[in-house]
Amino acid sequence: MKIVMLGAPGAGKGTQAAMIAEKFGIPHISTGDIFRYNLKNGTELGKKAKEYMDQGLLVPDELTCEIVADRIFMDDCKNGYILDGFPRNISQGEYLTKVLREAGQKVDFAINVDVPDENIVVRMSGRRACPNCGATYHIVNIPPKKEGICDTCGSELIQRADDKAETVKKRLDVYHDATEPLIQFYKGLGVLYTVDGTKPMSEVFADITKILED
């Protein structure tokens, strides 16, 4: 099964994606992880992305799409995958649809984790991230075993600048403008399913699992 996770930043889609990936034995593909892999291994795509990142510029849609397309056709994706953080806008959604169609494939489920803005501001200000391995935590919902320390690699956790309340509000504005239209896009393709992301994490997971197994 090929799944796209939708929802505002901080809606919990990354956490749900990781749980679904483990349950169904398919890769959880986040754009952050793909970029880190390509940069670390010095691939041609990674070198191209680094040129933009070194200048403090966003990696263009076209290159982001290339990097994702390269990943989803790897051997471990033959039974499906979950995309988390891609597509971010309509043009990326159209690109993904086109690339999959050319391979005789399609997105099977677009899961929209719906959470009101005010909940997200509270939620995200509690997030902490590992600058080394990319693992994410929440001081209330998913605390690390040792306060301030990553369970996976032992690095000191940080609060990312974009998780601070004032920045979260700006990120939500960008989401509503660029990414939220994907909800209607996938509704039009007949693969959209919306779950209530304000429920406890285990209940959201149960709701998503029911959709995928029905």
CA atoms of 100 and 25, how far apart (whole Å): 21
CA atoms of 32 and 126, how far apart (whole Å): 20
Q: Which of 2, 13, 123, 128 is catalytic?
A: 13
Tell me the CA distances in angstroms from 43 to 13, 48, 144, one per residue in order. Answer: 28, 9, 33
Is 36 in the active site? no
Is 2 in the active site? no
Q: Which of 36, 50, 160, 187 is catalytic?
A: 160
Q: Which of 36, 48, 88, 199 is catalytic?
A: 88
Is 13 in the active site? yes
Hey, which residues does 3 pair with through a beta bridge?
82, 109
Is 127 in the active site? yes
Q: Which of 2, 123, 127, 128 is catalytic?
A: 127
Is 101 in the active site? no
CA atoms of 111 and 48, how far apart (whole Å): 31
Measured from the Cβ of residue 47, the count of other Cβ atoms closer than 10 Å reads: 11
Catalytic residues: 13, 88, 127, 160, 171
